[in-house]
Amino acid sequence: MFIRYTERLADVGASASVGSVADSYDNTMAEAPNGTFKAELIEMQGPWRDFEQVERAIFQWVTWYNEERLHSALDYVPPAEYERDFQRSLEEEPQTA
């Protein structure tokens, strides 16, 4: 399996992870939302009737996660609101040459 994975990465010009063996530091940014997703949606709200039900639930969860959840690192402001306010602050600042 690993050999096929490495060959596929080479085929598309991608490089493999350079993290040390048996650590997850290079995957942390992806694994945090994955674990939350599995715990909050897949495991807690099943059993699922069919693929379409899961697909709709995933869309709703991702929308909530990216746009509505209160994020502690953002002073409990939803990510979409924080991003909007940040972009507005950039537009309001005078641009220097």
pLDDT tens profile 37-82 = 888 888 888 788 999 999 999 999 999 988 999 988 899 999 999 9
Q: Can you give the pTM of this predicted structure?
A: 0.56
Does the bond joining 94 to the residue before it have cis omega, within 30 degrees of 0? no
- 82: containing domain: 32-97
Domain assignment present for residue 27? The answer is no
Q: Would you state the pLDDT for residue 30? A: 63
Q: Would you state the pLDDT for residue 20? A: 59
CB 17 within 8 A of CB 37: no
Domain assignment present for residue 80? The answer is yes
User: Dihedral angle at the C-alpha atoms of 5, 9, 14, 16, nearest 10 degrees?
Assistant: 30
* pLDDT for 21 beyond 70: no
Angle of CA points 6, 37, 46, to nearest 5°: 115
Q: Would you state the pLDDT for residue 84? A: 93
Domain assignment present for residue 68? The answer is yes
